[in-house]
Amino acid sequence: MHAGFDVTVVPAGTPADEVLAMDPDGIFLSNGPGDPSAVTPAIDAVANLIGKKPIFGICLGHQILSIVLGAKTYKMPFGHHGANHPVRDILTGKVEITSQNHSFAVDTDTLPAHLEMTHVNLNDGTVEGLKHRTEPIFSIQYHPEAAPGPLDSTHLFSRFGALLRK
């Protein structure tokens, strides 16, 4: 699936000023392994990107954004792995069948007032999506690019495109 974006990939530790020097229309934070709190170079870079460009994060990118924006993450007892995880999009009411592979989640009780939960896991109630109330920032925990639904979550790329056009 091509969503209409031209993408430049940079390493996770790329400083924000180097990213901004490329003059991107927006920032996409991709997935990756492990404990999000251990990815301090990415946390530092993302902290310096807030308010400068629209941002969309998935999986580890979602967790890093959450940390930068004031929430906490925790290690799940079993994690979410594989396909067929039902997630409700609170904004539309639709249920999406998702593909997931993570062992950390965002702690609902630590969400600051400027973050709104947009997606919830229907199996265990964990946070599956967030958006910033005033900045053009949103994120999801699962993998829309994996298309397990098969196209249940492709609208998220259109949503990001709309933010870029504003």
Catalytic positions are 59, 143, 145
Rounded Cα gap, residues 103 and 85, in angstroms: 14
Helix residue ranges per DSSP H, the chain: 16-21, 40-47, 60-68, 155-165
Rounded Cα gap, residues 89 and 121, in angstroms: 9
| 131 closest CA partner among 79, 54, 43 | 54
